[in-house]
Amino acid sequence: MLEQAEQLLQDYFGYSSFKKGQKEIIESILTGNNTLGIMPTGGGKSICFQIPALCLSGVTLVISPLISLMKDQIDSLNALEVEATFINSSLSNLEIKERMAKTCEGQYDLLYIAPERLQSKEFISQLQASDISLIAVDESHCISSWGHDFRPSYRLIPKLITSLSNQPVVTAFTATATKEVRKDISELLRIEEESIYVTGFDRPNLKFNLISGDNKKDFIAEYVEVNQDDAGIIYAATRKEVDQLTSFLKQKGFSVGKYHAGLGGQERREVQEKFIFDELKIIVATNAFGMGIDKSNVRYVIHHNLPQTLEDYYQEAGRAGRDGEPGECILLFHPADIRLPKFFIEKSNLTPQFKKRRYQQLHKMIDYCYTTKCLRGFILNYFDNQQLINDCDNCSNCNEEQELIDITTEAQKILSCVYKTEQRFGVTTVACVLKGSKRQKILKLGFDQLSTYGLLKENTIKEIKDLINFLIAEGYISLTNSKYPVTKLTAKAKPVLAGREEVYYKVRKKIKRITSQNSLFSILREFRMKLAKKEDLPPYAIFHDSTLKQMTEQKPITKEAMLEIKGVGPIKFQRYGKFFLEKIKEFAVQETARQETATTTDTPSHLVSYNLLKTGKSLSEIANLRELALTTVQSHMVRSLQEGFDLNLDLFVSHKNRDLIKNKIKEIGAERLKPLKEALPEEISYFQIKLILSAKEEYLEL
Ligand code: ADP
């Protein structure tokens, strides 16, 4: 069975080996054990049930929380020519009837449904009449009331299972299960402890950045500018903030859309589609966006506000880099941000017990913002991972990339202004006093008489506010929890005012691009986009970015070489891969032409082939690329050697054959080639004889 699974992995999905945990999970399912897989986002959960679905005789019922996710997965499966479909509220009754009839007839390998469907008695009886061999419960933490996304309909799954006459195997997956959630899932779905596979939560390709005290809008504008070719999600806490940020970025000319629960269903669907189809690069959204977004090439996720829990944060941030390519997760933090999630919890309808738990979770989230230790280590430790990381070298705490500027004088001016305004005013008023503003409010309060009035008049109000916010983030000033937060000095401020301590402002280093620019990658990405439109598929259902990236690096120009690329199996090659092969060939020819003109305008043809050999291409690849006969390329090699160019003979003639040829030359001479060829073993070619004849004696000895 496992051999069959490995074959399917190669033939359908184009991968030569399993990812961590996949093999064990698939083996456990195929042995007939109810199985739980706890794998990080991007860990490859889908394949864990899709391959068994292809091995088993009946249909695999996949229970998945969101319609968009289903459609994406079905698109990807259909691109692989797998018989799969979904049933949800977006279909008409007639369509549902037809699909269910086909299910009962056993025409599908996979049927995706939303859990709410299980409320229908008719639907349950149709499932009872079908041959279900496997039930896969995706996002299975939704079954637990401890989870952050509890969905009551998930509780109908155990009932469905017991109602089926031939007990199917049950498998469940999640990325974010804490101990309590794990216990709930395994009890409710009857999964034994030894059939729980935890592959860890680590996402090594993600870089975690915590930016505190920075001006958030400035940061975002700079960031999306630098990374404008890449897709990203920006999460904000409220609809209003989403609206504001979207207009701000639109005005700056970025390709941006917004998503929140206040928009109409149609509008939301359109934005989501555009994002998935790479037509919109950035999406600004509340946390209503994303669950079930299967887009694999999201390169960054920025949180403009503080999430309520680390579970939420890791799940949302984890939408970056699902294809395993580098991704960045940035949390923009300001101490004043703590108020909003507190307010949400306070206003919620949660029981006191759950409220308390929410507060505990929020405190962990806040601790994350203040820790000076490894951010990845902090997250992994929270999720109860055994494998402790203290120095990941891929988070902002491990590789602190900041330059320090002494701002002690400015800090003293600000702190003393907070003191002089009697610790009764907000950031804006303090900034106005320091600027020396003539605003009515300032004058009325008599603040123009203060000794701190106009002390920072050279700076703009925005710069002063940024500095005050920095001092808040660093804990020199605190803000009250009131409706209009008021600035107060903390104990940390005293030694600064007394001149005993200095304050340093951390200047952020320039933002770097996440992905490097590459012209072949852009060509392939554009071509994929066209193909996707024609096929009405999301681009990544054709090939993931990681697959395109590997194509760019290896530039395969033969079918065999193309099949070596991860993500290109025989089926995908036939459907799409062969067209990409042509594109790469075209590019390589143009590149050669460019190189030719770059060196001299008329590099001799044999040297063009010689140069290509030096880049690691084989003779047949060169022939293929230049559309020349193999014998012509061989003659190019002989000529290059005759002209004294260095050639590694080991590539073409074994030492044994070299000796044979040399001895024969000594024996019968080399006036004519034909007798020499006939006197040698058949497998020795004219090309090899010519090479030996052309090589200088001392060269041959090497
Ligand atoms: P999850 O649902 O766990 O977030 P997916 O099932 O979407 O993850 O898989 C994440 C990515 O990993 C996809 O791009 C998928 O094609 C890829 N993948 C899955 N299995 C393998 C494998 N064995 N080798 C290489 N890539 C894989």
Element spanning 470, H or E: helix 461-473
- Tell how far the Cα of 42 is from the centroid of ligand 1, in angstroms: 6
- Mean pLDDT value across the chain: 89
* Per-residue pLDDT tens digits for 380-432: 888 865 556 778 889 998 887 667 889 999 999 999 999 999 999 999 999 99
CA nearest ligand 1 atom 19, residue: 44
Rounded to whole angstroms, the Cα distance separating 478 from 83 reads 60
Q: Which residues line ligand 1 (CB under 6 A)?
A: 15, 18-19, 22, 39, 41-47, 296, 322-323, 544, 566
Q: Which of the residue ranges 78-87, 111-120, 627-636 would you say has the lowest mean pLDDT?
A: 627-636
What is the per-residue pLDDT for 616? 81
CA nearest ligand 1 atom 12, residue: 44
Closest ligand 1 atom number to CA of residue 294: 7
What is the per-residue pLDDT for 702? 43
CATH class name, domain 2-198: alpha beta
Contacts of 497 (CB under 8 A, 6+ apart): 412, 415, 416, 419
Q: Is 700 a residue whose pLDDT tops 60?
A: no
Cross-strand bridge partners of residue 258: 284
* Per-residue pLDDT tens digits for 294-332: 788 899 999 999 999 998 999 899 999 988 889 999 999
* Residue limits of CATH 3.40.50.300 in the chain: 2-198, 206-401
* Per-residue pLDDT tens digits for 555-581: 998 999 999 999 999 999 999 999 999
**Average pLDDT of the segment spanning 258-263:** 92
Model confidence, pTM: 0.72
* Residue limits of CATH 1.10.150.80 in the chain: 519-596
CA nearest ligand 1 atom 10, residue: 42
CA nearest ligand 1 atom 15, residue: 44
Q: Is 105 a residue whose pLDDT tops 90?
A: yes
* Residue limits of CATH 1.10.10.10 in the chain: 404-508
The SS3 call for residue 35 is strand
CA nearest ligand 1 atom 1, residue: 42
What is the per-residue pLDDT for 148? 65
Whether CATH 3.40.50.300 fits 206-401: yes
The CATH homologous superfamily for domain 519-596 is HRDC domain (1.10.150.80)
Phi then psi dihedrals of residue 402, to 5 deg: -125, 150
- Tell how far the Cα of 141 is from the centroid of ligand 1, in angstroms: 20
* Per-residue pLDDT tens digits for 463-522: 899 899 889 888 899 988 777 889 999 999 999 999 999 998 877 777 888 877 678 898
Element spanning 334, H or E: none
Phi then psi dihedrals of residue 256, to 5 deg: -135, 145
Contacts of 34 (CB under 8 A, 6+ apart): 169, 170, 171, 189, 190, 191, 192, 195
Closest ligand 1 atom number to CA of residue 544: 14
Dihedral angle sign, alpha carbons of residues 384, 23, 82, 109:
negative
- Tell how far the Cα of 389 is from the centroid of ligand 1, in angstroms: 24
> What one-character DSSP code corresponds to residue 319?
T
Quote the tokens at residue 687.
Answer: 């090309």
What is the best residue among 17, 23, 46 to mutate for testing ligand 1's pocket, by most ligand atoms within 8 Å of CB? 46
- Give the number of other Cβ atoms within 10 Å of residue 484's Cβ: 10
CB 208 within 8 A of CB 394: yes
Q: Which of the residue ranges 16-20, 31-35, 79-83, 510-514 would you say has the lowest mean pLDDT?
A: 510-514
- Tell how far the Cα of 676 is from the centroid of ligand 1, in angstroms: 57
Quote the tokens at residue 296.
Answer: 């694999």
Share of the chain above pLDDT 90, in %: 56
Rounded to whole angstroms, the Cα distance separating 478 from 469 reads 10
Q: Is 685 a residue whose pLDDT tops 60?
A: yes
* Per-residue pLDDT tens digits for 191-213: 999 999 998 888 989 999 999 87
Nearest to 653, CA basis, from 662, 645, 644: 662
CA nearest ligand 1 atom 13, residue: 323
What is the best residue among 13, 18, 50, 298 to mutate for testing ligand 1's pocket, by most ligand atoms within 8 Å of CB? 13
Q: Which CATH architecture has domain 404-508?
A: Orthogonal Bundle (1.10)
**Average pLDDT of the segment spanning 166-180:** 87
Phi then psi dihedrals of residue 197, to 5 deg: -115, 115
* Per-residue pLDDT tens digits for 662-683: 888 888 888 888 888 999 998 8
Q: Is 243 a residue whose pLDDT tops 90?
A: yes
- Tell how far the Cα of 17 is from the centroid of ligand 1, in angstroms: 11
CB crowding 615-647: b at 16 or more within 10 Å, else e: eebebebbbbbbebeeeebbbbbbbbbeeeeeb
